Amino acid sequence: MAAEPNVAVISRLGIAQTLAWGSTYYLPAMLAEPMAKDLGVPTPTVFAAFSAALMVSALIGPHAGRLIDHTGGRLVLVFTSIIFALGLAALGLVQGPIGLFLAWLIIGIGMGSGLYEAAFSALVALYGNRARSAITGITLIAGFASTVGWPLTTLLEAQIGWRGACFTWSALHLTLGLALNLSLPTRLAAQTAEATPLPQYPIEKPASDTGNLHRRASYALAFVFAATWFISTAMAAHLPRLLQAGGATLATAVMVGALIGPAQVAARLLEFSLLRKIHPIVSARIAASLHPIGALLFGIIGAPAAAAFGILHGAGNGILTIAKGTLPLVIFGPNGYGHLQGVLMVPARIAQALAPWLFGMCLDEFGIKSLWLTSAIGVGATLVLITIPLVVDKRIQRV
């Protein structure tokens, strides 16, 4: 039988993911302005370098996933700790825009092989079809990455400057991150995953049609992941300004932003408890609809509904993060999971890289009406998710 998820392993990987997210994805929000001022470049140049890193991560993801399929996650994640340390050290040493982009490109390699997709793949390599609860577990811990990362980065920047902050994060990867990833087991659950088969779904068409149906499901998931990552990244970059455009005060906007992290974690706890008994596609459909519902409330009621909007958006984003790991597993099974996960996330990484720029332009031009864009994307993702159960329940069997 495949091994049961181990709490100690989940905890160590969750802490390593908190470090990885806090020192990369959440870094520009706190350091972009002092970094730009010191280097003599516009602040958008720093975010452009960050977007370039996300593009690199999209290219790296499928290859990292394939390697995890063959070797397990330990080797890849250990390598990623070293890459993160090198990239952050290089970032602390940059003297101009060329060095800035090169440093972020190194960090992008780490992001493509060391964030959630790689961690999910490592858990599937260890636990096979039993990995759903483990995936939820690490997102519960790493859901606090911004809660830990933003204040710590701000404190370090105030005390030792932005370069010192980068060097400190680099040192943490070479010590804490490396030790945590080295402690991961090496055994592949793939050797015994056959003993825990996925649910069998009735097939109405010949098995020869299964390959085409798998492709359709893959395209659907790729769209859903890209759509939801576009929304979450756009909100992460522009939520305070968006809320103020809708009539909220700056204090209210800051308060709502502080609610998103706890809302994400609370939703993940709900998924771990009550929702774990239902098919993850059902919880994903509910989650994808929460941003449009919150936007509708905010559009109709205005500033008094700002908190409700933030909570609904955060809750939906929290569950969808888990769905990005569990949906490919329940639909396609553990075999080749890492490579498939990397491929499915390529459009999402590109959408993530473009979201701050595109939504920022919409916000400048249309103000609060920009929510029509993210709401339409959220509704589209929900509708696509509604079609997937019909494909899964009637067509897809274990591969």
Q: What is the pLDDT of residues 55-110, one digit of tens each?
A: 898 888 888 888 888 888 888 899 999 999 999 999 999 999 999 999 999 999 99
Q: What is the mean pLDDT of the chain?
A: 82
Predicted pLDDT of residue 353: 83
d(CA 321, CA 328): 12
Higher pLDDT, 83 or 149: 83
Tell me the pTM: 0.79
Residue 393 has pLDDT above 60, yes or no: no
d(CA 22, CA 16): 10
* Span 290-302, pLDDT tens digits: 999 999 999 888 8
Q: Which CATH class is domain 7-188?
A: mainly alpha
Percent of the chain predicted with pLDDT > 70: 89
Residue 165 has pLDDT above 60, yes or no: yes
* Span 90-99, pLDDT tens digits: 999 999 999 9
Predicted pLDDT of residue 198: 43
Predicted pLDDT of residue 275: 67
Average pLDDT in the 254-273 region? 80
Q: DSSP code of 294? A: H
Assigned token pair, 290: 């929460």
Q: Where are the domains of the chain?
A: 7-188, 203-394
- Per CATH, 7-188 and 203-394 having the same topology is answered yes
Predicted pLDDT of residue 187: 55
Q: How many C-beta neighbours within 10 Å does residue 249 have?
A: 12
Q: Give the list of residues 6+ apart from residue 258 with CB closer than 8 angstroms, or none.
A: none
SS3 205: coil
* Span 193-250, pLDDT tens digits: 444 444 433 333 434 455 666 778 888 999 999 999 999 888 877 777 788 888 888 7
Question: Which amino acid does the sequence have at 48?
Answer: A
Specify whether the CB–CB gap between 114 and 175 falls below 8 A.
Answer: no
Kindly indicate the confidence band of residue 116, based on its pLDDT and cuts at 50, 70 and 90: confident
Composition of the chain by helix, strand, coil, percent to 5: 85, 0, 15
Q: Give the list of residues 6+ apart from residue 190 with CB closer than 8 angstroms, or none.
A: 69, 125, 128, 334, 335
Predicted pLDDT of residue 181: 92
Predicted pLDDT of residue 179: 94
Residue 162 has pLDDT above 60, yes or no: yes
Helical (H) or strand (E) element with 60: helix 43-71
Provide the residue count of the chain. 399
DSSP alpha helix (H) spans, 246-370: 250-273, 280-301, 306-332, 337-344, 346-366
Helical (H) or strand (E) element with 79: helix 73-93
d(CA 312, CA 290): 5
Predicted pLDDT of residue 2: 55
Q: Give the list of residues 6+ apart from residue 278 with CB closer than 8 angstroms, or none.
A: none
State the architecture of 203-394 in CATH terms: Up-down Bundle (1.20)
d(CA 55, CA 52): 5
Predicted pLDDT of residue 110: 93
